[in-house]
Amino acid sequence: MWVQEASCEEVIKEAWEDTRGSGSNVTTCVAPCADSLTSWNRQHFGNIQKNLQIAHAELCKLQNGKYEQVLVSCKREVERKINDLLEVEETMWQQCSRVTWLNKDD
């Protein structure tokens, strides 16, 4: 899910270069890189389920409003946002499933 985002590569490069410049070896570079990615994840994606709930509530409000062109364009934008969030959520669950399968001792 992360590697599909253009800014992910930049976060990794910056974190890696900041650490590598101090003459550190690879193992000491991984932890700061992971911290940077965790922070970026929170800022970039946030809580997917919570964001979906908010977007669905917003869509319900728009659907209950009068039919006006402004509301129609807002509704389309919220629907697009919901679809994007659903795609991210689907990818997240696919990755979780894959990790579970790989960790299985079979």
Instruction: Give the domain range for residue 2.
Output: 1-46
Both 32 and 82 in one domain: the answer is: no
In the chain, the number of structural domains is 2
pLDDT tens for the 106 residues of the chain, in order = 666 777 887 888 888 777 766 666 777 778 888 888 888 888 877 788 888 999 999 888 888 876 676 678 888 999 999 999 899 888 888 878 877 788 886 5
pTM as predicted: 0.54
Instruction: In whole angstroms, give the CA distance from residue 65 to residue 79.
Output: 15
Spell out the residues 6+ positions from residue 29 whose beta carbon is closer than 8 angstroms to its own.
Answer: 15, 16, 19, 20
Give the Å distances, CA to CA, from 6 to 2, 41, 43, 69.
9, 13, 14, 33
Alpha-carbon distance values, 19 to 9, 43, 44, 81, 93 (Å): 16, 22, 22, 36, 32
Residues 57 and 105 in one domain: yes
